[in-house]
Chain A
Amino acid sequence: AQRVTQPEKLLSVFKGAPVELKCNYSYSGSPELFWYVQYSRQRLQLLLRHISRESIKGFTADLNKGETSFHLKKPFAQEEDSAMYYCAPEGNNDMRFGAGTRLTVKP
């Protein structure tokens, strides 16, 4: 069955500390992988996608096909990074979302 797991519901770090949001997936085939973010009182929006291999707002995500993981990382967290983050593998005809991780960056 298609499954995506974000093991941490809540993650809290201090400003300037590194942050890693974990995502593991179980999908048939080779899904395209995305991270979406929802800031307070804003709509859900794309943060980055694996195929672009870009760094967005200082975030990167590495695909590890052997471990079927797509963890999101940022070396120095900022307060404005506080938000809900969703990992989303894109399969055939659908895009399923993980349960999400709420990141809080404390001053």
Chain B
Amino acid sequence: ETGVTQTPRHLVMGMTNKKSLKCEQHLGHNAMYWYKQSAKKPLELMFVYSLEERVENNSVPSRFSPECPNSSHLFLHLHTLQPEDSALYLCASSRGLAGGLESGELFFGEGSRLTVL
């Protein structure tokens, strides 16, 4: 498997459930990102990790909890979500941190389509 892989591709959960989204990249990149793509809103940057450290948190509610155990894996833990959290969640990676000297382009996964009932 090459590139950025996201699992599951589809997830349906109730508001009281706890679930996790997983992202894996085999590109040797040092930065990883979570974006939210809703039907009627632009792509929203949620979290940014560089070398496993979180460097950006764009006022995301605490019911979303990211985890980056190593530079190849990124998780988004979900707990007590709301129906308005239903969206496509995209993971991306880049060689270096955006805005840095080695940033490069972002490589995206296919996304995890989340539906909150």
- A and B form one complex: yes
CA distance A94 to B55 in the complex (A): 9
Chain B residue contacts of A40, Cβ below 8 A: none
A91-B99 contact given A34-B105, A43-B110, A46-B106, CB 8 Å threshold: yes
Please tell me which one of the listed residues A31, A45, A88, A93 contacts residue B48 in the complex, with CB atoms under 8 A apart: A93
CA distance A82 to B86 in the complex (A): 27
B: interface residue count bin? 20 to 34
Interface 1/0s, chain B 26-51, versus A by CB < 8 A? 00000001010000011101001010
Check if B98 sits within 8 Å of A93, measured CB to CB. Answer: yes
A: interface residue count bin? 20 to 34
CA distance A98 to B43 in the complex (A): 7
List residues 59-117 of chain B with CB under 8 A from any CB of chain A.
90, 92, 97-99, 103, 105-111
Check if A86 sits within 8 Å of B43, measured CB to CB. Answer: yes
Please tell me which one of the listed residues B41, B45, B105, B109 contacts residue A94 in the complex, with CB atoms under 8 A apart: B45
Q: What are 11 of the A-B contact pairs (CB < 8 Å)?
A: A44-B92, A44-B108, A86-B43, A91-B98, A91-B99, A92-B99, A93-B97, A94-B45, A94-B99, A99-B41, A99-B42
B interface residues, Cβ below 8 angstroms from A: 33, 35, 41-43, 45, 48, 50, 55-56, 58, 90, 92, 97-99, 103, 105-111
A interface residues, Cβ below 8 angstroms from B: 31-32, 34, 36, 43-46, 49, 86, 88, 90-100
